[in-house]
Amino acid sequence: MARAPVLAAGGIVLRQEAPPRFAVVRLRKRNEWVLPKGKLDDGETPRVAAEREVLEETGHAVEVHEFLGTLVYESGGRSKVVHYWRMEACGKPVRALMSDVREVDWLPLEQALARLSRGYERAFLENVGPIALQAAMRSEPDAPSVATPEATADAREAIEIAPSAGEPATALRKNLIQRVRDWLHRAA
């Protein structure tokens, strides 16, 4: 019998600077640079877990925006399914980093891509990073819209596969594999 996948959520977290900066966190245990994310608690929705995990790993309160996509990979002999939302960091840190995180760094997209230790996270950020930047620019007051038809279509497709905001983790597990299969089929 196949083991159930590990469900997790996180954020593509931007800080509005010139140029905008992406959060990457350095894990204490493996000394790896990763995107901020973590496992869902029992009964927690992916969106709520994403906001909580980003706060714990970056120390920043965030505004959660649109769903950007799902990353699936193997971890410890099990599939790990991570849902990501675009987030914007609000001001200065409001809490200390959790003990698993050594530090957080805020980097422009190209430097964040180079810093990430895991190839699958680099590939994911390479695809959703420009979408997050365009969405952030559109949400700024008086910012000109620079969305391309391709980016808009990609974002629309990502939103279509987002889990419902009120959907608990137990309900999500039942149809998760089918959602991932459908998403991978559409991405192919």
Residue 151 lies in a domain: yes
For residue 166, the domain's CATH number is 3.90.79.10
Gyration radius of the chain over CA positions: 16
Domain of 162, in residue numbers? 6-187
Residue 62 lies in a domain: yes
First to last CA, the chain: 28
pLDDT tens for residues 98-122?
Answer: 999 999 999 999 999 999 999 999 9
Residue 105 lies in a domain: yes
Residue 183 lies in a domain: yes
The sign of the CA dihedral 184, 36, 110, 115 is: negative
For residue 181, CA distances in Å to 25, 75, 186 come to 29, 18, 9
**How many structural domains compose the chain?**
1
pLDDT tier at 169 (50, 70, 90 boundaries)?
very low
pLDDT tens for residues 121-138?
Answer: 999 999 999 999 999 988
Residue 73 lies in a domain: yes
Determine whether 163 is exposed, middle or buried from the number of CB atoms within 10 Å of its CB (0-12, 13-18, 19+): buried
Residue 1 lies in a domain: no
Strand pairing class (6-15; 78-89): parallel
